[in-house]
Amino acid sequence: MATSAHPTPRFYWTVALVLAVVTGAEIAVGVMEVFASVKVAGLLVLSGLKFAAVVAFFMHLRFDKPLYRSLFLIGLFGAIPIFVVFLLTFEALI
Amino acid sequence: MTAIPTAESLAGEHHDADHHDVAPLRKTAMWVFLGSECILFGAMIATFLLYRSTTADGPTAQELFKIPFTSASSFVLLMSSLTMVLAHNAFERKDMRRARIFLLGTALLGATFLAGQIFEFTDFVHEGLTPQVSPFGSSFYMLTGFHGAHVFIGVMLLTAMYVLSLSGRLYEDRGLNVELVGLYWHFVDIVWIVIFTVVYLLQV
Residue B13 included in any domain: no
pLDDT at B195 (0 to 100): 95
- Give every CB contact of residue B193 below 8 A, 6+ residues apart in sequence: A47, A50, A51, A54, B74, B78
More confident residue, B97 or A3: B97
Residue B120 included in any domain: yes
CA pseudo-torsion sign B97, B98, B103, B104 = positive
Q: Cβ distance B137 to B131 under 8 Å?
A: yes
Q: Which segment of B111-120, B153-162, B165-174 scores lowest on mean pLDDT?
A: B165-174
pLDDT at A93 (0 to 100): 63
Query: CB neighbours (10 Å) of residue A61?
Result: 20
Range of the domain at B37: 22-203
User: Which residues on chain B are in Cβ contact (under 8 Å) with A44?
Assistant: 197
**A51 to B194: CB separation less than 8 angstroms, yes or no:** yes
Distance CA A21, CA B40 (A): 29
Residue B150 included in any domain: yes
Q: Cβ distance B82 to A13 under 8 Å?
A: yes
Q: Which of B36, B67, B193 has the CB atom closest to A27's CB atom?
A: B67
Q: Does pLDDT of B10 surpass 50?
A: no
pLDDT at B2 (0 to 100): 44
Q: Which amino acid is at B70?
A: T
Residue B16 included in any domain: no
B176 min Cα distance to partner chain A (Å) = 10
Residue B2 included in any domain: no
CA pseudo-torsion sign A45, B80, B153, B130 = negative
pLDDT band at B167 (very low <50, low <70, confident <90, very high): confident
% residues pLDDT > 70 (chain B): 88
More confident residue, B156 or B9: B156
Q: Which segment of A75-84, B62-71, B108-117, B185-194 scores lowest on mean pLDDT?
A: A75-84
User: Which residues on chain A are in Cβ contact (under 8 Å) with B101?
Assistant: none
Length of chain B: 204
Is A76 in CB contact (< 8 Å) with chain B? yes
**B202 to A87: CB separation less than 8 angstroms, yes or no:** no
Predicted TM-score (pTM) of the model is 0.86
Whichever domain contains B106, its CATH number is 1.20.120.80
Residue B10 included in any domain: no
Q: Cβ distance A49 to B76 under 8 Å?
A: no
Domain count, chain B: 1
Q: Cβ distance B84 to B186 under 8 Å?
A: yes
How many CA atoms lie within 13 Å of A47's alpha carbon, on the beta-carbon side?
Answer: 24
Distance CA B67, CA B60 (A): 14
Nearest CA in chain B to A79: B39
B84-123 residues touching A, CB cutoff 8 A: 84-86, 89-90, 92
CA pseudo-torsion sign B194, B70, B159, B166 = positive
Residue B9 included in any domain: no
pLDDT at A80 (0 to 100): 84
Residue B168 included in any domain: yes
Residue pLDDT, tens place only, A72-81: 998 888 888 8
The most confident of A57-71, B104-118, B169-183, by mean pLDDT: B104-118
Q: Cβ distance B144 to B198 under 8 Å?
A: no
User: Which residues on chain A are in Cβ contact (under 8 Å) with B204?
Assistant: 30-31
Residue pLDDT, tens place only, A27-76: 888 878 878 888 888 989 999 999 999 999 999 888 888 899 998 998 88
The DSSP 8-state label assigned to residue B144 in this structure reads: H
Distance CA B127, CA B116 (A): 16
Q: Cβ distance B103 to B28 under 8 Å?
A: no
**B82 to A58: CB separation less than 8 angstroms, yes or no:** yes
pLDDT at A81 (0 to 100): 85
Provide the H-helix boundaries in chain A: 9-31, 36-53, 66-89
Provide the H-helix boundaries in B93-174: 96-126, 135-166
pLDDT band at B5 (very low <50, low <70, confident <90, very high): very low
